[in-house]
Amino acid sequence: MKQLHKKIDLSVDIGGLKMRNPVMAASGTFGYGEEYEEHVPIDHLGALITKGISLKPHSGNPPPRLVETTGGMLNAIGLQNIGVKALIKEKIPNLMKFGTPIIVNVFGSTLREYGEVARILDGIDAIKGLEVNISCPNIKRGGISFGTDPRQVFKVVSKIRKASALPIMVKLSPNVTDITTIARSAEEAGADVLSLINTLTGMAVDVDNRIPKLGNITGGLSGPAIKPIALRMVWEVYNKVNIPIVGIGGIFNTYDALEFIIVGASAIQIGTAHFINPSVAMEVINGLENYLRDNHIGTIQDLVGSLETPTFSIL
Amino acid sequence: MARVIFNRKISSDYYRMRILCPEIASRAKPGQFIMVRITELLDPLLRRPFGIHRLCHERDKHTDNNSPSCIEILYKIVGKGTIVLSEKKKGEGIDLMGPLGNGFYLEQNIETAVIVAGGIGVAPLFSLAQVLKGVKGKNTSRDKLTIFIGGENRKDILCLNDFKKIGARVVVSTIDGSLGTKGLVTDLLVNFLRKHSPLETKNLKLFGCGPLPMLRTLSEIAFYKNIPCQVSLESRMACGVGACQGCAVPTEINKEGDRVVLYQRACKEGPVFDSTIIFWDYKSILLKV
Ligand SMILES: Cc1cc2nc3c(=O)[nH]c(=O)nc-3n(C[C@H](O)[C@H](O)[C@H](O)COP(=O)(O)OP(=O)(O)OC[C@H]3O[C@@H](n4cnc5c(N)ncnc54)[C@H](O)[C@@H]3O)c2cc1C
Ligand SMILES: Cc1cc2nc3c(=O)[nH]c(=O)nc-3n(C[C@H](O)[C@H](O)[C@H](O)COP(=O)(O)O)c2cc1C
Ligand code: FES
């Protein structure tokens, strides 16, 4: 007999991050939360991840900062943010009222800076976790991104591990040759969770004026266009690490979210889709619930990594 | 969901769409904008921003004292999104977010106002004129509200009769001279200011929307003549609500005695800005938007 109104439990606990459902708002696409207050019931989200925060405020890149591309968009915001002190003083008090777990996305341009930001955020009650953006230029190493070198990744994550008792989610860059080696470094250094993917570096050109369409020349690609790549990377990492994974990249509806969960993600983040459809997270939460009910699956966890791969091949 | 009342072609490249959306219309102020979802499919992906052109009712043209139930947008076909938008039919549902941003700042005692519009920049300025006329009463003389409208050629001059009907003085210029005075719309303003004594323009307020070079010139004129001027700027947008920082406009503000550049969000702090705070010397925005 089908039980029609059985309450479905979507709650998850990933690496110490407890959430009422596995759907989070991705960093940089949801501001500091307050911007979407009028448009989204924020208290329904599994968690909210803030815009990337650094020790000092950053003014960001010159415009234009956005370009639409087929099936996606490029952004070159330049990690503009108000700095960790202002976040704590001006934004956290307002965010707390939603009762939604707040995860602060952190970055730095030196190892020390990463550690310092994490230390300042440690012990603030409302903050339930840190997401470490390692796709940032390391100024001590000629601006090469921390996230491309397994040793640098190990150092950054260790530094943060020492500075903070909060659950640590390390956000991986897809702009690498083998994402699994980076993932392993983060795991070894003590990450509790991995989130992937950040944006893919891309470009667009204005042929009339022969100039880049972005003020910063290059930018990060997000949206539906990156979903197949993100899925592949989640699946690869799932087969190599033992900590939970959060899937990100072009999630626009329930089926997109399910694909990530089936290849190994324990939770997901929605970014660009909010711009087009502010109700997307609510739709995905309801959709997941319906999927579990319709398929008689007890919890999200039962679905994680449930991908069945072909067992035979023709020689 | 909001519904299309009509979507009319008004000349080769321009369309006017009236939309029934009481929640938006009743709260909207001139200078604010909406984000339109062009299609339920994902191509084109992002919403498109359009200024609120007119506040009105389903049937009559102009708003009376009842709170308006409709808005209109006036748009120019420039690419994929606006092409798809132009195919929307009467009665179709349309997904809007708004009203967004800060509109024009209107004091109670605006005595004389001059509006400078370049091309499609006229779109949000009509709702401004509607309200300015409302603020001052229907019986104010034409001299109190002047509109300068400029464009490349006569096809780009929109809303002429609409402005006349609400009792504003309208002066036109085109680059090719096909309508009105030949030349730049900002030259009309220069002439106007030359003809009026500083005393006569003491309480004048300037408002502008149009291409960036025009707004820059307008801003310079306002600065030299010491006339308060508000400009509505365009910028690439993704979220429209202040969340992504994508629409940043460089502004110059005073910080402990120094002029520092600060990015402000066109969708949140703008799209209307006091012209003196804009950092006009920004090459990349001059080139692109
Ligand atoms: C606050 C605001 C109010 C606006 N009001 C009006 C209006 O009332 N009437 C009108 O015709 N146009 C208005 N625009 C410009 C309008 O948004 C663009 O013409 C439209 O987005 C073009 O879309 P497209 O797909 O046809 O063009 P495409 O060039 O194919 O668009 C590609 C991308 O660039 C963006 N884009 C292109 N041109 C502009 C532009 N000038 N400003 C901002 N983004 C742009 C698009 O939104 C899209 O993301 C306004 C812009 C802003 C920021
Ligand atoms: C405008 C914008 C700003 C972003 N800012 C950040 C950021 O500050 N820190 C970060 O780790 N990721 C940032 N991202 C990346 C997103 O969090 C996400 O990883 C990426 O967009 C892919 O997901 P999506 O396709 O669902 O958008 C940003 C993305 C966008 C579009
Ligand atoms: S468009 Fe996103 S902040 Fe303005």
| pLDDT tens digits along B183-232 | 999 999 999 998 888 877 888 999 999 999 999 999 999 999 999 999 99
Say which of A42, A136, A267, A284 is annotated catalytic. A136
pLDDT band at B81 (very low <50, low <70, confident <90, very high): very high
- Asked which of A12-26, A35-49, A129-143, A212-226 is least confident by mean pLDDT, the reply is A129-143
Which domains, from first to last, does chain B contain?
2-100 (2.40.30.10), 112-234 (3.40.50.80)
Give the residue-averaged pLDDT of A32-59: 93
Percent of chain B with pLDDT over 90: 74
Whether B265 lines ligand 3, by a CB cut-off of 6 Å, is yes
Q: How confident is the model at residue A5 (pLDDT cuts 50, 70, 90)?
A: low
Measured between alpha carbons, how far is residue B8 from residues A238, A246, B16, B18, B238 in Å? 54, 47, 5, 9, 27
Nearest 5°: the CA angle A153, A147, A118 is 60
pLDDT of A308 higher than 80: yes
**Contact between B244 and A31 using a beta-carbon 8 Å cutoff:** yes
Q: Is B250 on the interface with A (CB under 8 A)?
A: yes
Of B45, B262, B263, the CB nearest to A276: B45
Q: Out of B243, B248, B249, whose CB is closest to A35? A: B243
**In the numeric block, which tokens belong to residue B275?**
């012209």
What pLDDT shows up at residue A101? 96
Q: Which residues in A lie closer than 8 A to residue B289 (C-beta atoms)?
A: 63-64
Whole-number pLDDT of residue A136: 84
| Average pLDDT over chain A, rounded to an integer | 94
Taking contacts as CB-CB distances below 8 angstroms, the residues of chain A near B282 are 62-63
Q: Do B45 and A36 touch (CB under 8 A)?
A: no
In this predicted structure, the answer to whether residue A78 has a pLDDT above a threshold of 80 is yes
Residue A279 Cα to ligand 1 midpoint, Å, equals 23
Cα distances (angstroms) measured from residue A209 to each of A18, A45, B119, B280, B284: 51, 44, 22, 20, 12
The pairing of strands A47-49 and A23-25 is parallel
Asked if B45 reaches chain A (Cβ–Cβ under 8 Å), the answer is yes
**Tens digit of pLDDT for each residue in A143-154?**
788 999 999 999
Say if residue A3's pLDDT is above 90. Answer: no
Which residues of chain B have a CB within 8 Å of the CB of A252? Answer: 42
Return the closest-CA partner of residue B113 out of B167, B160, B63.
B167
Q: Which 8-state DSSP code applies to residue A297?
A: -
CB distance B45–A73 less than 8 Å? yes
- Does the pLDDT of residue A247 top 50, yes or no? yes
pLDDT at position B111 is 79
| Strands lying side by side in the sheet with A72-75 | A66-69, A72-75, A218-222, A200-203
- Tokens (6 digits) for B97: 């977010």
Whole-number pLDDT of residue A112: 94
- Long-range contacts, stretch B261-264, CB < 8 angstroms, 24+ apart: B261/A59, B262/A59, B263/A59, B263/A60, B263/A80
CB contact under 8 A, A30 and B243: yes
Which domains, and CATH codes, for chain A? Answer: 12-303 (3.20.20.70)
Give the mean pLDDT of chain B: 90
pLDDT in tens, B254-270: 878 777 889 999 999 99
Largest CA distance in chain B: 57
Higher pLDDT, A51 or A8: A51
| Whether residue B134 has pLDDT greater than 80 | no
Q: Give percent of chain B with pLDDT exceeding 70.
A: 92
The predicted structure's pLDDT at residue A140: 81
Whether the pLDDT of residue B285 is over 50: the answer is: no
* Size (chain A), residues: 315
Residue with CA nearest ligand 1 atom 25: B81
What is the distance between the alpha carbons of residues A206 and B172, in angstroms, rounded to a whole number? 32
Whether pLDDT at A172 is above 80: yes
- Burial code (b: 16+ CB inside 10 Å, e: under 16) for B43-79 equals ebbbbbbbbbbbbbbeeeeebeeeebbbbbbbbeeee
* CB distance A199 to ligand 2 below 6 Å: yes
- Decide: residue A309, CB within 10 A, 0-12 exposed, 13-18 middle, 19+ buried: exposed
Task: Pick from B34, B36, B45, B260 the residue to mutate for testing the A interface (most A CBs within 10 Å).
Answer: B45
Per-residue pLDDT of A88-110, as tens digits, reads 999 999 999 999 999 999 999 99
Q: Which two tokens stand for residue B162?
A: 């609409």
pLDDT at position B135 is 57
Long-range pairs, A89-95, Cβ under 8 A, ≥24: A91/A32, A91/A33, A91/A34, A91/A50, A92/A124, A92/A126, A92/A127, A94/A32, A94/A33, A94/A34, A95/A32, A95/A33, A95/A34, A95/A48, A95/A50, A95/A126
Q: What is the mean pLDDT of residues A274-282?
A: 97
ipTM of the complex: 0.93
Q: CA A139, CA B56: separation in Å to the nearest integer?
A: 56
> Tokens representing A110?
């030196």
Q: How confident is the model at residue B282 (pLDDT cuts 50, 70, 90)?
A: low
Phi, psi of A94 (to 5 degrees): -70, -40
pLDDT over threshold 60, residue B62: no
Model pLDDT, residue B284: 43
- The pLDDT of B6-14, averaged and rounded, is 94
Q: To the nearest 5 percent, what fractions of chain B are helix, strand and coil?
A: 25, 35, 40
Inter-residue contact B268 to A190 (CB < 8 Å): no
For residues A279 and A35, give the distance between their C-alpha atoms in angstroms, rounded to a whole number: 14
Least confident range from A134-148, A191-205, B66-80, B173-187: namely: A134-148
Distance from CA of B52 to the nearest CA of A (A): 20
Strand partners, B259: B254
